[in-house]
């Protein structure tokens, strides 16, 4: 057993070393091939090899734990990386899509993810969105009693192939980051099971609706320790057992345990792993994997974070008040959470020289600033790094989920291009890139900012005036 644990840790370390080698090769090649340069000061790079490996690790971890033949759908949480080619890659790797808006659903469809492998969860679905999902046969998890009422009406109007479920909140408490803790007593998601009379209401809601066959809980995202995540699954499982016992049949046939596995943003080595999570689940909720329930998962960050790197040129290096500052092109527009909440969302920064080689040399405490016009636009503050000089590059690591892919339009900064890469690690040192998203042009920024309506306000007249 101990040997096992040690050899798994060694696997994770060698995986991490290979990932760093691929990333270094990609940064170097991106500079060489001009994806980064005078006209492209910032770009996002996606490690296609790494994405494939994470998808495979997720599937293998749960396949190893589940009774053979158990239906399982790993639906990737699209909000983590809303890019059509990424969704297609994950689909090809055997994953589905979890969507929470008409835009995310459209992305999943554009990627070719079939309805049968798509799950719709959102706290504010409109009647039109619900109707479309049911017409397509997409699985829907209702958030609250009013939404169940809407589903009642739709199910009466037309038969649907959509598996339908209810999202519950076990209210067992949050993790270290308030904004991503979804199982607090007052979280906005799902039906709170510990509220007075709520559990009994949920049981009744299922007994009245024979077509309600799934139970869903997503109990947090980043900062939730494994035992707490597993507790969410345990409470969901216990409730399903209770409902099925009361119904006298296996009405609930599928449990959706959400995503929420944390990423260690302080280290290159992945921990916890999917295999560790699956083992904790198997230990704490053995019935979950016994084959009596189909399983849906909804991981986002843990699948993609490691595989994205934002690389930006150092435009200027200066010193103010005794502090070195590298002014770069990566800031709040690509790392919104880190810039606004640096304590909760710190990122590792890697230094590369002007040619894209890892930068060596003695470390100097410095700030890595972004391009936006407010003083808090810092990717990192007081960080010890090799001294960054004009023309060097900085890389914000682990930014494949919820970062460059979720652009923030502050200062009308353009959305950078995103490129997938596959290096030939065999010896040639070559790297092939594919554009995943072209850089936004300034003309597109003008168009999105009302460019076609330039005189809309100057020509506006109150009713009756002339």
Closer of 96 and 386 to ligand PLP (Cβ): 96
302 contributes a contact to ligand PLP by CB under 6 A: yes
Q: Which is nearer to ligand PLP, 122 or 397 (CB)?
A: 122
Footprint on residues 27-66 left by ligand PLP (CB under 6 A): none
Among 165, 232, 294, 300, binds ligand PLP (CB under 6 A): 300
Nearer to ligand PLP, 293 or 352 (CB): 293
Please report where in the chains the tokens 């190893």 appear, as a residue: 64
Q: Which stretch binds ligand PLP (CB under 6 A): 27-35, 51-59, 76-84, 282-290?
A: 76-84
Binding mask 259-278 for ligand PLP (x = CB under 6 A): xxx-----------------
Q: Give the nearer residue to ligand PLP in terms of CB position, either 223 or 371.
A: 223
Which residue from 237, 293, 299, 403 is in contact with ligand PLP, where contact means CB under 6 A? 299
Give 325's strand partners: 318, 367
Is it true that the peptide bond before 272 is cis, omega within 30 degrees of 0? yes
- Residue from 298, 377, 392, 398 binding ligand PLP (CB under 6 A): 298
Binding ligand PLP by CB under 6 A: which of 163, 175, 258, 417? 258
Interaction of residue 77 with ligand PLP, rule CB under 6 A: yes
With contacts defined by CB under 6 A, name the span among 198-206, 277-285, 299-307, 319-327 that binds ligand PLP.
299-307
**CB closer to ligand PLP out of 35 and 280:** 280
d(CA 366, CA 323): 6
Q: Does 80 bind ligand PLP (CB under 6 A)?
A: yes
Q: Residue 298 CB, nearest distance to ligand PLP (Å)?
A: 4
Q: Does 307 bind ligand PLP (CB under 6 A)?
A: no
Smallest distance from ligand PLP to CB 221, Å: 3
Nearest residue (CB) to ligand PLP, 219 versus 366: 219
Taking CB under 6 A as the criterion, the residue among 19, 28, 79, 359 binding ligand PLP is 79
Considering only residues 190 through 249, tell me which ones interact with ligand PLP, judged by CB under 6 A. 218, 221-222
Query: Which residue lies nearer to ligand PLP by CB, 29 or 122?
Result: 122
- Do 203 and 135 contact (CB within 8 A), yes or no? no
CA dihedral (71, 77, 81, 83) in degrees, to 10, reads: 60
61 backbone dihedrals φ, ψ, rounded to 5° = -60, -45
Part in contact with ligand PLP (CB under 6 A); list of ranges 102-110, 298-306, 311-319, 437-445 = 298-306
CB atoms within 10 A of CB 193: 20
- Residue 96 binds to ligand PLP (criterion: CB under 6 A): no
Q: At what angle do helices 198-208 and 145-157 cross, to 10 degrees?
A: 0
Distance in Å, CB of 453 to ligand PLP, minimum:
34
Shortest distance, position 122 Cβ to ligand PLP, whole Å: 8
CB 302 within 8 A of CB 95: no
Q: Does 371 bind ligand PLP (CB under 6 A)?
A: no
Q: How many residues does the chain have?
A: 466
Contact flag: residue 403 with ligand PLP (CB under 6 A): no
CB within 8 A of 81, min separation 6: which ones? 300, 304, 308, 400, 401, 405
100-139 binders of ligand PLP (CB under 6 A): 121
Is the CB of 93 or the CB of 385 nearer to ligand PLP?
A: 93
Comparison of 121 and 392: residue with beta carbon closer to ligand PLP = 121
**Of 204-212, 256-264, 312-320, 352-360, which part binds ligand PLP (CB under 6 A)?**
256-264
Give me the least distance between CB of 213 and ligand PLP, in Å please: 18
Q: Give me the least distance between CB of 261 and ligand PLP, in Å please.
A: 6
Q: Which residues bind ligand PLP (CB under 6 A)?
A: 77, 79-80, 98, 121, 218, 221-222, 258-261, 298-302
């Amino acid at each position: 057993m101990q040997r096992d644990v040690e050899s798994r840790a060694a696997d994770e370390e060698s995986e991490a070393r290979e990932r760093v080698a691929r990333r270094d090769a990609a940064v170097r090649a991106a500079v060489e091939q001009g994806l980064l340069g005078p006209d492209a000061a910032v770009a996002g790079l996606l490690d296609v090899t790494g994405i494939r490996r994470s998808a495979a690790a997720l599937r293998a971890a749960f396949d190893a734990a589940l009774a053979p033949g158990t239906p399982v759908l790993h639906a990737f949480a699209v909000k983590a990386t809303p890019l059509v080619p990424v969704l297609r890659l994950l689909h090809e790797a055997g994953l589905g899509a979890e969507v929470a808006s008409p835009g995310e659903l459209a992305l999943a469809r554009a990627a070719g993810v079939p309805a049968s492998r798509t799950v719709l969860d959102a706290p504010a679905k409109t009647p039109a969105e619900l109707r479309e999902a049911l017409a397509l046969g997409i699985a829907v998890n209702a958030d609250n009693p009013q939404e169940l009422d809407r589903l009642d009406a739709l199910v009466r109007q037309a038969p649907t192939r959509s598996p339908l479920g209810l999202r519950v909140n076990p209210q067992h408490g949050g993790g270290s980051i308030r904004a991503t803790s979804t199982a607090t007593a007052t979280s906005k998601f799902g039906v709170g099971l510990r509220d007075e009379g709520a559990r009994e209401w949920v049981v009744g809601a299922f007994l009245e609706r024979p077509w309600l066959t799934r139970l869903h809980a997503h109990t947090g995202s980043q900062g939730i320790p494994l035992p707490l995540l597993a507790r969410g699954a345990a409470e969901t499982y216990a409730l399903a057992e209770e409902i099925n016992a009361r119904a006298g049949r296996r009405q609930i046939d599928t449990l959706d345990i959400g995503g929420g596995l944390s990423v260690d943003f302080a280290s290159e080595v992945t921990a916890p792993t999917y295999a560790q999570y699956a083992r904790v689940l198997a230990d704490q909720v053995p019935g979950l994997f016994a084959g009596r329930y189909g399983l849906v998962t909804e991981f986002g960050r843990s699948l993609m974070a490691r595989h994205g790197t934002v690389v930006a040129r150092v435009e200027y290096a200066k010193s103010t008040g005794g502090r070195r500052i590298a002014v770069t092109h990566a800031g709040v527009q690509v790392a919104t959470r880190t810039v606004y909440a640096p304590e909760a969302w710190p990122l590792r920064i890697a230094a590369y020289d002007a040619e894209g080689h890892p930068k060596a040399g003695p470390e100097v405490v410095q700030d890595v600033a972004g391009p936006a016009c407010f003083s808090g636009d810092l990717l990192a503050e007081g960080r010890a790094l090799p001294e960054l000089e004009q023309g060097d590059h900085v890389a914000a690591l682990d930014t494949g989920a919820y970062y460059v892919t979720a652009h923030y339009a502050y200062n009308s900064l353009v959305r950078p291009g995103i490129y997938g890469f596959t290096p030939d690690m065999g010896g040639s040192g070559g790297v092939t890139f594919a554009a995943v998203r072209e850089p936004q042009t300034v003309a597109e920024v003008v168009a999105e900012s009302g460019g076609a309506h330039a005189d809309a306000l100057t020509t506006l007249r109150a009713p009756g005036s002339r």
